[in-house]
Amino acid sequence: MKYVKDLTKKARRASYKLSLLDSKTKTRVLSKMAKAILDNKKFILSENKKDVANASKANVAKSFIDRLTLNEKRLKEMSASLSEIANFADPVGSLIKKWKRPNGLSISKVRASIGVVMIVYEARPNVTSDCVGLLFKSSNVGILRGGKASLRSNLAIAKILKKVVYDCGINFDPFFIVEKTDHKIVDALLKENENIDMVIPRGGEALIQKVVKESTIPVIKHYKGICHVYVDATGCKRQAMRICVNGKCQRPSVCNAVETILVHQVQAKKFLPRLKKEFDSLGVEIRGCAKTAKILKGIKKATQKDWSTEYLALIVSVKIVEDINQAIEHINNYGSHHTETIITKNKAMAAKFAREVDSACCFVNISTRFSDGHQFGLGAEIGISTDKLHARGPMGVEDLTTYKYVVTGAGQIRE
């Protein structure tokens, strides 16, 4: 497919040029990008309204519309992320480790850019600016393929950011937006392992499974977020209430929202009725285990499928557990290895939870909604990896690098 071949060859050539940009230039470009987002907010919001109107006509889910919609607050967040990324130390070329061998060889392990990274995402236009910022800072050329529903928004953001690049005297494209919406384009791109070094899919389970199945390129999976809150025997009820409500309701359509709440049996009779009252007022449907249903009359009983479902909506499953061991077993069996939190006053229980839960992010007494690159101080994230190689959890600029060995000698030869 000529379009794909031409695009990926341009990206590969651009990656060699991008690797030569100095840190000061990258910082200056990113700072100007941050300003340009706000300076051009009317244009971005106007294009985004067209995307939202078309999606609304198609009767898509409210959660989809929420992810698609931009507003002034989200534009400010996009700008702030670019500003924060601009001020990070440049990871490329930084020394990881250095040592000297008995034969006089000096060996340095240094960070290097990956090269060309393809991002496949769906409805969130803010992903466009986040990815451009992180990839540019780490000297990686991006091939960004957003969803059809957000095409106008993505093109508007890209147009503004590319103008900054050109105005700063850079005469090549450091990122490319895939403008064609044909799904066959994605299939072809996923076979371009000669020119694309890594793929990161961000979206629903179906998208990620397809990318993993079709790709001949290494894939970092931003898999579904079946996130848990476990209210331990000593957990503060007021704190637990605030964290459960925030985790479920603050933005239910995102991957770090809470999907399952586990409650120690000694807390259940007092805590669950209060939780239900609060959730009822916010329109949250509870699906509970048999023990939960005995306490909360009239709720829908949870099925086996509920424990492994990412609702992305105002629905939550609740289970009463005997102890922390049962909670950990449930999380490891049904979770997606994304983010879990324990509410407890017991330091030993907190340490046990963090040690034994097999997830990228293990929190103590905070909302799962903090599982986010910006909240971690990474500026943004290219994705939240539920894999173990090569990165895990929110991925920032350092996670978008590999490394190389630089070895210096004085004429040594191997005997």
Residue percentage of the chain with pLDDT more than 70: 100
Distance CA 248, CA 241 (A): 11
Residue 31 lies in a domain: yes
Pairing of strands 106-113, 95-100: antiparallel
Residue 208 lies in a domain: yes
Q: Is it the case that residue 3 has pLDDT exceeding 90?
A: yes
Distance CA 110, CA 234 (A): 46
Residue 280 lies in a domain: yes
Distance CA 153, CA 401 (A): 28
Q: What is the pTM of this model?
A: 0.91
Looking at residue 171, its pLDDT comes to 96
> Helices 41-57 and 23-39, interaxial angle, to 10°?
70
We report the CATH number of the domain holding residue 346 as: 3.40.309.10
Q: Is it the case that residue 236 has pLDDT exceeding 90?
A: yes
Distance CA 397, CA 88 (A): 9
Give me the mean pLDDT over the 159-171 stretch. Answer: 98
pLDDT in tens, 378-396: 988 998 999 998 999 999 9
pLDDT in tens, 70-93: 999 999 999 999 999 999 999 999
183 shares a domain with 272: no
Give me the mean pLDDT over the 124-130 stretch. Answer: 95
Band of pLDDT at residue 290, cut at 50, 70 and 90: very high
pLDDT in tens, 248-264: 999 998 999 999 999 99
243 shares a domain with 203: no
Q: Is it the case that residue 223 has pLDDT exceeding 90?
A: no
pLDDT in tens, 172-215: 999 999 999 998 999 999 999 999 999 999 988 889 999 999 99
Residue percentage of the chain with pLDDT more than 90: 93
Reading phi first (left if > 0) and then psi (alpha if -120 to 50, else beta), residue 394 is in beta
> Considering the chain, what is the average pLDDT of its residues?
96
Give me the mean pLDDT over the 12-38 stretch. Answer: 98
DSSP string, 45-98: HHHHHHHHHHHHHTT--HHHHHHH---HHHHHHHHHHHHHHHTSPP-TT-EEEE
154 shares a domain with 107: yes
Dihedral angle of Cα 37, 157, 200, 165, to the nearest 10 degrees: -80
| Structure token pair of residue 384 | 């939240």
402 shares a domain with 306: no
pLDDT in tens, 354-373: 999 999 999 999 999 999 99
Q: Is it the case that residue 12 has pLDDT exceeding 90?
A: yes
Name the CA radius of gyration of the chain, rounded.
23
7 shares a domain with 125: yes
Label residue 379 exposed, middle or buried (CB < 10 Å: 0-12, 13-18, 19+). Answer: buried
Residue 384 lies in a domain: no
216 shares a domain with 231: no
209 shares a domain with 246: no
Q: The dihedral of CA 61, 66, 67, 71: what is its sign?
A: positive
Looking at residue 153, its pLDDT comes to 98
Residue 209 lies in a domain: yes
Looking at residue 242, its pLDDT comes to 98
- CA terminus-to-terminus distance, the chain: 50
Q: Is it the case that residue 123 has pLDDT exceeding 90?
A: no
CB atoms within 10 A of CB 2: 6
We report the CATH number of the domain holding residue 175 as: 3.40.605.10
Residue 382 lies in a domain: no
pLDDT in tens, 292-334: 999 999 999 999 999 999 999 999 999 999 999 999 999 999 9
Residue 9 structural domain: 2-220+395-408
128 shares a domain with 82: yes
Looking at residue 63, its pLDDT comes to 85
Looking at residue 53, its pLDDT comes to 97
- Sequence-separated (6 or more) residues with CB below 8 Å from residue 271: 231, 237, 240, 241, 263
Contact 402, 110 (CB under 8 A): no
Looking at residue 114, its pLDDT comes to 98
Residue 274 lies in a domain: yes
Q: Which helix (H) or strand (E) holds 175?
A: strand 175-177
Residue 360 lies in a domain: yes
103 shares a domain with 199: yes
Length of the chain: 415
Collapsed DSSP state (helix, strand, coil) of residue 117: strand
The domain total for the chain is 2
Residue pointed to by tokens 């331990």? 232
**In Å, what is the CA distance from 392 to each residue of 30, 138, 149, 340, 359?**
25, 17, 29, 14, 9
214 shares a domain with 346: no
81 shares a domain with 119: yes
185 shares a domain with 55: yes
Distance CA 166, CA 44 (A): 19
